[in-house]
Amino acid sequence: MKPLHSIFIVDDDPIHQQITEIMLERLRIADAVTKFSDAQDVLDHIRVNTADQASLPDLILLDLNMPVMDGWEFLEVYAGIRHQIAKDIRIYVLTSSIDERDRQRVDQFDFVSGYLTKPLTNDIIMALLP
């Protein structure tokens, strides 16, 4: 399997960021892993680089519960701009929530590739590869 070019981890918890990054690097699943604590920063990056495929991630691992802009707000805004983006970015919600209502709400976003619960496992990470 060919590694992904770039993965963005969007999570306000630095411990979860670090654990996820270490797992991704050990499995050599991506050439580059970038961590964000605020979903707004990811949207800003995407908007600035809308036409630059090399600067856009292949995959986003998105936490739902964050203090400034949460994952829900990110998904709402992304839904409105995704057709302007030069690359099809796969988004996986990565959350500690086991609430079935959250899973059903995520299902309403047809561009979300999956709903993953923390902690990640090696098997789940390997399943992210195309």
CATH number for 50: 3.40.50.2300
User: What is the model's pLDDT at position 2?
Assistant: 65
Mean pLDDT of the chain: 94
Q: pTM of the full predicted structure?
A: 0.95
Q: Is the pLDDT of residue 128 over 80?
A: yes
Residue corresponding to tokens 């690359």: 87
Exposure string of 33-72, with b = 16+ CB inside 10 Å and e = fewer, is bbbbbbbbebbeebeebeeeeeebbbbbbbbbebeebbbb
Angle between helix axes 39-48 and 71-81 (nearest 10 degrees) is 20
- How many domains, the chain? 1
- The domain in which residue 77 lies consists of 4-127
Mean per-residue pLDDT, 39-62:
96
Q: Edge-to-edge strands of the sheet including 59-62?
A: 30-36, 4-10, 59-62, 90-95, 112-117
